[in-house]
Amino acid sequence: MPDAAHIKPLTALRFFAAFWVVMFHYWPNLAVAGAVPGVVAKGYLGVEAFFILSGFILCHVYLTAFGEGRFGYGGFLWNRLARVYPLHLFTLAGVGAMALAAGAVGIAVDKNMLAWDALPANLLMVQAWGFAPVSGWNHPSWSISAEWFAYLSFPAFAFVAWRLRARPLVLTGAALLLIAALYPAFEKLAGFPLTEATIRWGALRIVPCFFYGCALYTLWKSQDVSLRGAGIGAAFAGLLLLATVQLQAPDALIVTILGGFILSLARLAKAGSTFASQSMFVYLGEISYSTYMICIPWKILAINGAAKLLNIEGDKLPLAVWALIVAALIPLSAASYHLVEKPARDFMKSIAKQRRSAAATATVA
């Protein structure tokens, strides 16, 4: 049985989801002729992969404790805050410093990078709840705001998942019905797809995917599968996902298949496969949050710097330069992970541990 907090193929998948988003944002800066490949054009759905994974993993770690009355809401929120907030704060400050430095030397930057009226919402991680007037500072952090919404409302998701844990097909069917109904309804009412929502309705965007991830966990938990069956299922789901993405199928269909692919990878791990469990893939998955959070600040800095250095008009770069900038995200992510993300997370968790020890000592006394 995989470790409660670490189904290795799903950790590895986080890296590929992050780089799917990276390709979506970086491809327009590549000087290449021809249409954008479907797999790149749909790169924004990498966020949906994170949202589904979040629901699955949080249920994997906390659902039993919730159902048995051992779930500590305060401790849960503190752990989630330790996971996302330090790097969010660091990248927010980094974007602000970069914008101020650019302005000091006369380089024009997007005015939203220093949107002071959006700063309180960003600091409170509610910018995707409709409280930010513009998409300012480090734009990818809108999804962290959406995640924070899901963390705060996790007991509601867990309540439903626990009550229906013995009927996982019903729960999964309900999640799929929500996706099938909400996506077209939202687009009709809002005028744009839910999968493109960021600071406008971004908190709603996570709901169907997070719920889907919770449902898939109960399905995974309830079923045993042979290694052969798991392998066939994963291969089929992976090929189907690639095909629908490349053909630019409707987002609701791709999200549905994406969930099936996540479930198939978890089944592989449960059946004893070592697929995508190698230390390199797992490590890349562990630093994927840093990859996601620094990708836009690095893009702004690197693309503009390269264009100036090479005297290029505009922001279209030669393949070699573009590829070097993209590849540099990996060591930069590793540096961010080891210098900021992990030490800050460990520090916050140590504070919680000290408080628990102090409370236990006081109780004994």
In angstroms, rounded to a whole number, what is the distance separating the alpha carbons of residues 328 and 298? Answer: 9
Is 6 a domain residue? no
Q: Helix 73-104 to helix 288-309 angle, to the nearest 10 degrees?
A: 10
Residue 364 pLDDT: 60
Is 102 a domain residue? yes
Residue 245 pLDDT: 96
Per-residue burial over 102-141, b = 16 or more CB atoms within 10 Å of its CB, e = otherwise? beeeeeebeeebbbeebbebbeebbbbbeebeebbbbbbb
191/72 same-domain check: yes
pTM for the full predicted model:
0.94
169/76 same-domain check: yes
58/204 same-domain check: yes
In this structure, are residues 125 and 144 in contact, taking their beta carbons and an 8 Å threshold? Answer: yes
Residue 2 pLDDT: 37
196/119 same-domain check: yes
66/204 same-domain check: yes
Q: What is the pLDDT of residues 40-74, one digit of tens each?
A: 999 999 999 999 999 999 999 999 999 999 999 99
Domain stops at, among 179, 208, 237? 208
23/65 same-domain check: no
Is 307 a domain residue? yes
Task: Please give the full DSSP string across 78-115, using - where no structure is assigned.
Answer: HHHHHHHHHHHHHHHHHHHHHHHHHHHTT----GGGG-
38/58 same-domain check: no
How far from 284 is each of 89, 277, 318, CA to CA, in Å?
22, 11, 26
197/90 same-domain check: yes
Is 59 a domain residue? yes
Residue 84 pLDDT: 96
How many CB atoms sit inside 10 A of residue 18's CB?
27
In angstroms, rounded to a whole number, what is the distance separating the alpha carbons of residues 288 and 274? Answer: 20
In this structure, are residues 220 and 266 in contact, taking their beta carbons and an 8 Å threshold? Answer: yes
Is 266 a domain residue? no
Task: Give the residues of the chain that fall short of pLDDT 70.
Answer: 1-6, 33, 106-108, 363-365
Q: Cα 18 vs. chain centroid, distance in angstroms?
A: 7
In angstroms, rounded to a whole number, what is the distance separating the alpha carbons of residues 277 and 222? Answer: 23
Per-residue burial over 244-254, b = 16 or more CB atoms within 10 Å of its CB, e = otherwise? bbeeebebbeb
Number of domains in the chain: 2
Domain stops at, among 208, 232, 259? 208
Q: What tokens does 5 get?
A: 């907090």
Is 97 a domain residue? yes
Q: What tokens does 209 get?
A: 């995917």
Q: What is the pLDDT of residues 138-181, one digit of tens each?
A: 999 999 999 999 999 999 999 999 999 999 999 999 999 999 99
Is 272 a domain residue? no
Residue 3 pLDDT: 41
**Where in the sequence is the domain holding 337, given as residue range(s)?**
13-42+278-341
Question: Helix, strand or coil for residue 277?
Answer: coil
Is 254 a domain residue? no
